[in-house]
Amino acid sequence: MTSILYRHGIVHSPSDPFAEALLVVDGTVAWIGADDTADGLAATADRVVDLAGALVAPGFVDAHVEVLDPHRGHGDGAASARGVLTDAARRGVVAVHEHAAPGDGADLAHLVAAAQDPASGLPLVVGYAGEPCTTADAAHALATAVPGLTGVVVALSSGADRVRDTVLCATAAGLQVAVHLDAGGAVSGALDGLGAAAGTSREVRSAVRRRAHRLERPLVVTPDDVTALVDLGITLALQPATGAAPVAALAAAGVPTAFGSGGSVTDPWATVRAAVLHEDSAQRVSARAAFRAATRGGWRLAGLDHTGAGELRVGAPAHLAVWRAEHVGVQSEAAGLSTWSTDARSGTPLLPDLRADAPLPECLHTLRAGVVLHDALT
């Protein structure tokens, strides 16, 4: 049994918004509480980390990356992509959703396998294969070729019929479908294909809803689209940095969303701030909502939120990051960042100040299931 005690800091935990210390035992959060109580735990912990006022928060999940893509044609794509994942860990990222292109199946299999065990020192890789999948045999072959495969990718540009066939075959094989939308980001064409698949029978419709298929980078979503998204149980991967994602409208409708970079991993706090400071003021969300989309949202889209990942609470996997932030506080208004308070008012966990002129936090330490992926603590 191995244990790490983090103390003398700020712990972002809904279960105890005033916590200053956290104990990890065998990869699981075993205790959260006050520093004075932590005194009794320090003597038995294998490592005691003095946070010196730093913030401990759930690690980020990048819900859409394509780290294999830049390395295509340059030898072992999976080996080259490991460096990108190592860099992601330095940014506080504990998991990524890799959307592979057609022909990258072997590299995807190697990458998923290489990162499966936290002892690899890499973030978890949730894999989506780009090979065509329009028959039952093709779906099962993909699942066999990439052990641990989560889903398959289909481009809307290939047509609504292709989306329908992919959804039917993938659903039957227990795989999720990630529909890559056209450059305009309209979701209507994808919904045509998803709706056609779900309309096959009542049993298929129920299976489609359970699988929670996803759309990538939606930019144009009408009220009718929102109704269909909810009806079909569709989830969305947004890229707030594009400045056009309808973040607030989707959040208000209760559509499950997560944030992704779109290519290689970028600074996740910049992504969160882009959602909070959306160029369309009507689409801004609170810092807390944006942070949850960038952390717990990614686990939910991958169907892994039942593990407790994405929150720091007793019994949850210890996927976390430690941050040096110049200022932390509670946002006073959901629609803007005009005022921040340093008190955990109403029991709300603290977050870094995300106003436009505030420096972004610096990642000091990243932990995945109790395994240190990055450590710059002194």
Domain boundary assignment for the chain? 3-57+311-325+361-375, 59-307
CA distance 108 to 275: 30
Beta pairing partners, 220: 186
pLDDT in 10s for each residue of the chain, 378 residues: 799 999 999 999 999 989 999 999 999 999 999 999 999 999 999 999 999 999 999 999 999 999 998 766 555 777 889 999 999 999 999 999 999 999 999 999 999 999 999 999 999 999 999 999 999 999 999 999 999 999 999 999 999 999 999 999 999 999 999 999 999 999 999 999 999 999 999 999 999 999 999 999 999 999 999 999 999 999 999 999 887 889 999 999 999 999 999 988 999 999 999 999 999 999 999 999 999 999 999 999 999 989 999 999 999 999 999 999 999 988 765 544 445 555 555 568 999 999 999 999 999 999 999 999 999 997
Domains 3-57+311-325+361-375 and 59-307 share a fold: no
* Paired tokens of 128: 């989506």
Beta pairing partners, 326: none
Residue 319, Cβ density class (10 Å: 0-12 exposed, 13-18 middle, ≥19 buried): buried
Q: Write down the CATH superfamily of domain 3-57+311-325+361-375.
A: Urease, subunit C, domain 1 (2.30.40.10)
Nearest to 107 by CA among 57, 142, 61, 72: 72
CA distance 46 to 301: 34
The dihedrals phi and psi of 31, each to the nearest 5 degrees, come to -165, 145
Quickly count: other Cβ atoms within 10 Å of residue 148's Cβ. 14
State the amino acid at position 83 in one-letter form. Answer: G
In Å, the largest CA–CA distance within the chain is 63
| pLDDT on residue 70 | 77
SS3 label, residue 152: strand
* Paired tokens of 166: 């992919």
| pLDDT on residue 163 | 97
CA distance 89 to 214: 25
* Sign of the Cα pseudo-torsion (250, 251, 253, 258, in order): positive
Nearest to 99 by CA among 62, 74, 73: 62
| pLDDT on residue 263 | 87
Class of domain 59-307: alpha beta
CA distance 94 to 108: 18
| pLDDT on residue 177 | 98
| pLDDT on residue 342 | 55
C-alpha 361 chain-centroid distance: 18
C-alpha 100 chain-centroid distance: 17
| pLDDT on residue 365 | 98
Q: Quote the pTM value.
A: 0.95
| pLDDT on residue 335 | 47
